[in-house]
Structures are given as structure tokens and as C-alpha cells.
Amino acid sequence: MKKNNLTIGIDVGGTNTSLGFVSENGRLIFEKSIPTFADQSAEQLFSRLFKEINTSYAKFIKKYDLIGIGIGAPNANYYKETVELPPNLNWGTVNVVKLVKKYSSLPTVITNDANAAAIGEMIFGAAKRMKNFIVITLGTGLGSGIVVDGKLVYGHDGFAGEIGHTIVDPEGRNCGCGRKGCLETYASATGICRTVFELICNTNLDSSLRKISYESLTAKQISEAAKKGDKLAIEAFDYTAKVLGLKLADSVAHLSPEAIILFGGLALAGDLIIKPTKRYMENNLLNIFKGKVKILSSKLPGNYAAIIGAGALIWNELNKNK
């Protein structure tokens, strides 16, 4: 019997690392998550990961061949095949592709999680058949993956696609990058929590969110409050969308994409974020772009999108060589 091919998708996160087997049509055949242990080295993580992969694959070996490995990781560089000084992992700088060679001879590709998400959307998700689009991941920070003419934009050094660090206001909020006023300090799960606290401070709007401390507040709570009509929560979404829409209009002026796809935690708020972002973006678009650029939600299955993106990354690479 002819066996089908699968790729291995690996999504390295600060807390957990997920792995899965992804079919050519984007089905997740198997999925498992293990703790990353941020204080451990990359070697230790990959040693544990490949034990899991080998054990798990045993159950699939009769039906499937594994043909490649795609990895999404923070601060990953596609060209250099490295992860460089990830802020939440005690890795230093590691050549991950070289490291993987200790455990597997399969072709291996690495990129950052937002780029993997973009390839995932292109092959299996909301950007199918699109050649020019942008994926924005709204999680703890704001990541982005830019696709031009069907290919990810890496720039001359592999680090392109940092829309989260375009500047909204040079005198604005402190950013984790050491500068001020970056887009991700406004438009991200963390950014909307900061906005809620700004509104608590500056307005007299009644709100259930006034009972919650900054440390325990989540974007999900804000979204639930907004759905119940909480004016402060609705205002927080509106302000987030206003800033995001303004800056996305700048991205459109650079790249004229067919669509911008919102992905990750805050994007799960759906129309609460999509509709006002679209409206504010339209207001700020140059006339030749007006009414042309869609804003869409990710179509990858929420919890597994990052693994599927990583699997898609290597599918895309293998299909290039066909």
C-alpha cells in the first residue's frame, strides 16, 4: 500500500512547545504539547521533542512517511537558520537547523511564528489563492508576516515583517524593545489591557473591569465585557482599532495587499476588532486603495494554527522544488 506523506510542524513558545503531523491538505493528524522549560537549553528541548516524535510516529509508521520539519520560533531567522537571543528563552543564539540534524536527516526550515502563520494561511487558510497579503498576529505582542507575489518577505537579513515595531507615537507607551510608542504597545492582547487602564484613569465610564487588577486582566475578559455592552470595554476595542487601522493604512501604502488577516488571541474577539479596524483603515487609505483591501479572520483552527503554520512552512518549501 502506498503511504501518504506528512510533515512535522513544531511551534516553540515561551511556556509550551507543540508538535504535530500535518498532511498535504492541512489536516492535523496528530498533536502533542510539551513544556518548553524556558531556563533549559535548546538542546534539551529538542532532545525531548524528538523522543516524543519518535514515540508518536511509531503509531503512524504503517500509513505515513514523514518528509520534512517546519519550525516556528521567536527571533528565528530563515536565512541563517538560527534563533537569536529570544527574549523569553534561555537559549542565547542557536543554529536550530544544525541542532535538528543530530536527530533527523529530514529537510528542516525555521522561521518566526508570524511568518509560519502567514504560510499557513496561504496554503491552508484565509489567504488561499492570494499572492499579496499580510498576516497580523495579535498575541502578547504584534507579529506580522508579509507575502509579496506568493513569497514571504524576509528582507536582506531575514528580519523583515516587524510591523509591531512601527511607531505610532515617538513619545508614546514604553515598549519591551526599549523604544516608545510601538504599534504593539497599543494593538495586541497586552496593548488593549493597557488601554483599559488608560480609560479607567481618564474617563468616568462605569465598567466591570474596574474590579480587576492589571496583572489578572486578560483580553478575553475585555472581549466578554464588551459583548455584554460594557462601554469602557467597547471604547477600548474602538481605540485599539483606531490605532491599528491607522498603521495598517501605512502598510497598505507600502504593499497594496489583497487582504490583511488577523490571527491570534485578540483576533478571536471577531467583529469587535475586525469591523472598527476596517473602518479606521478605510478612513486613512489613499483613494486608490479604498474599498480594495479585505480584513479577514484567520481560517486556521484556533489552538493548532501555529503547528499547522509550521507544517505548512516545510510543505511550501518542498513543493517549491517540485
Residues at the interface with a second copy (CB under 8 A): 130-133, 146, 148-149, 151, 153-163, 165-167, 170, 177-179, 246, 249-251, 253-258, 284, 286-289, 292
Taking the C-alpha atoms of residue 88 and residue 132, their distance in angstroms, rounded to an integer, is: 31
Query: Cα 55–57–60 angle (5° rounding)?
Result: 135
User: What minimum distance in Å lies between the beta carbon of 4 and a second copy?
Assistant: 33
User: What minimum distance in Å lies between the beta carbon of 155 and a second copy?
Assistant: 3
User: What minimum distance in Å lies between the beta carbon of 36 and a second copy?
Assistant: 22
3-state DSSP assignment of residue 8: strand
CA distances, 118 to each of 136, 180, 259, 293 (Å): 8, 27, 12, 17
Q: Which residue, 232 or 249, is less far from a second copy as judged by CB? A: 249
Please name the residue ranges forming H helices in the chain: 42-57, 96-101, 113-124, 189-202, 219-227, 231-255, 271-284, 305-320
Helices 219-227 & 231-255 angle (0-180, nearest 10): 110
Residue 124 in contact with residue 26, Cβ under 8 Å? yes
User: What minimum distance in Å lies between the beta carbon of 46 and a second copy?
Assistant: 24
Q: Which residue, 43 or 169, is less far from a second copy as judged by CB? A: 169
Q: Which residue, 162 or 230, is less far from a second copy as judged by CB? A: 162
Tell me which amino acid residue 51 is: K
Written as one string, the DSSP assignment of 249-287 is: HHHHHHH--SEEEEESGGGGGTHHHHHHHHHHHHHHS-G
Q: Which residue, 149 or 215, is less far from a second copy as judged by CB? A: 149
Q: Which residue, 245 or 311, is less far from a second copy as judged by CB? A: 245
Residue 98: how many CB atoms within 10 A of its CB? 11
User: What minimum distance in Å lies between the beta carbon of 209 and a second copy?
Assistant: 28
Q: Which residue, 98 or 131, is less far from a second copy as judged by CB? A: 131
User: What minimum distance in Å lies between the beta carbon of 8 and a second copy?
Assistant: 27
